[in-house]
Amino acid sequence: MTDLIRALPKTELHVHIEGTLEPEMMFRLAARNGYELPFSTVEEVRAAYRFTELQDFLDIYYRGAAVLQTPEDFYDLMTAYLRRAADDGVRHAEIFFDPQTHTARGVGFEVFMTGFREAIADAGSTPSASLILCFLRHLSGEAAAATLRAAEGHLDGVVGVGLDSSERGRPPRLFEEAFVLARSLGLHAVAHAGEEGPAEYVTGALDVLGVERIDHGVRSLEDPELVARLVRDHVPLTVCPLSNVALRVIPNLADHPLGVMMDAGLLVSVNSDDPAYFGGYVADNYRSVAESLGFDDARLLTLARNSVVSSFLDEGEKKTLIAELESVHPEGTRAS
């Protein structure tokens, strides 16, 4: 099964580059930059990765990101992720980054964008990669719009905007201005919604922010009318099973509604979210759900196909990847 999972051409559409910072790299960059971490060993860091909810994780995650200071740091981070992704059979990645996590520390756009861009260029097309600039939802809507204005001039390689961080009590409408601006710049739009927040935040992200894809969206299942709309409009949901369990959105993998979502006709893909924190990269996520939910090869193929269909690649690129996917497994794939 692992061989098939690796062999399937797939995309990854929900991965936060700051969430790929492995503890070993955290220590290496801290030493390189003379930054003092509140941990003394890798084991201590890993032991701290026991979360009871999203906020627990975010607190530690933003602290870890402070070791990222120079273009070389961002280059190393991106390069390591792209290598891992290539090993997992990822052919194209649309990668989130959180500018406000860095600008708040005095690390400017030119620093991180230079590192990201050079790493993506050096990886060639294995995998191809584009960037999605995320606004931090615990900060204000004004700060989000100001961040996008500051980003103009640095948007080479950026295909869209997203919305992440603490969801509860932070409805999508707070970020309308930033998303209107993003769409006027020709950027795609996605948003985290229905992870810890209610199904109505998924509706709000679609109606108010005009997003084309929902990140997570597992709580959409609480609203049958919303599910019918997502199915009818083929709205992609980027689901992250290991993340959902690590952040206690879902009690355990055997209870994960991924199969229910597929059976309902939702266009779901499998992604890693913050692999350094949640115990696995994208192929680990495929393997974990396949084992826990008893998925057969046809289901895995459907997930890989959905990941291609849900991407911002152009139609010709999607067709090429799907043809390749079908040649890996001649039985072909079922629609979503």
What's the min distance (Å) between Cβ of 334 and Zn ion? 27
- Per the annotation, the verdict on 195 as an active-site residue is yes
Identified catalytic residue from 18, 22, 167, 195: 195
Binding site for ligand ADE (CB under 6 A): 16, 19, 54, 164-165, 192, 195, 243, 273-274
Closest CA to 21 of 114, 94, 97: 97
Quick one: 122 or 222, whose CB is closer to ligand ADE? 222
Question: 147 to each of 63, 182, 326, how far by Cα in Å?
Answer: 20, 11, 42
Residue range at the interface with Zn ion (CB under 5 A); choices 100-108, 149-157, 266-274, 317-325: 266-274
CB neighbours of residue 70 within 10 Å: 16
Q: Choose from Zn ion, ligand ADE, none: what does 285 bind? Cβ within 5-8 Å by kind.
A: none
Quick one: 18 or 273, whose CB is closer to Zn ion? 273
Q: Choose from ligand ADE, Zn ion, none: what does 20 bind? Cβ within 5-8 Å by kind.
A: none
Q: Choose from ligand ADE, Zn ion, none: what does 195 bind? Cβ within 5-8 Å by kind.
A: ligand ADE
Please state the separation of Cα 249 from the chain's center in Å.
16
What's the min distance (Å) between Cβ of 244 and ligand ADE? 9
Quick one: 83 or 168, whose CB is closer to ligand ADE? 168
- What residues form DSSP beta bridges with 269? 238
Quick one: 22 or 274, whose CB is closer to ligand ADE? 274
| Tally of CA atoms within 13 A in the half-sphere of 196 that contains its CB | 19
Question: 84 to each of 62, 121, 129, 159, 262, how far by Cα in Å?
Answer: 22, 16, 13, 22, 27
CB 93 within 8 A of CB 11: yes
Quick one: 39 or 201, whose CB is closer to ligand ADE? 201
184 CB-near residues (< 8 Å, 6+ apart): none
Q: Binder to Zn ion among 88, 94, 196, 273 (CB under 5 A)?
A: 273
Amino acid symbol at 138: H
Q: Choose from ligand ADE, Zn ion, none: what does 165 bind? Cβ within 5-8 Å by kind.
A: ligand ADE
What's the min distance (Å) between Cβ of 216 and Zn ion? 7
Scan for tokens 């985290």, then name that residue.
Answer: 192
Q: How many residues bind Zn ion (CB under 5 A)?
A: 1
Positive/negative CA dihedral, 114, 118, 121, 124: negative
CA distance 327 to 325: 5
Chain residues that interact with Zn ion, rule: CB under 5 A:
273
Would you name the residues annotated as active-site residues?
A: 195
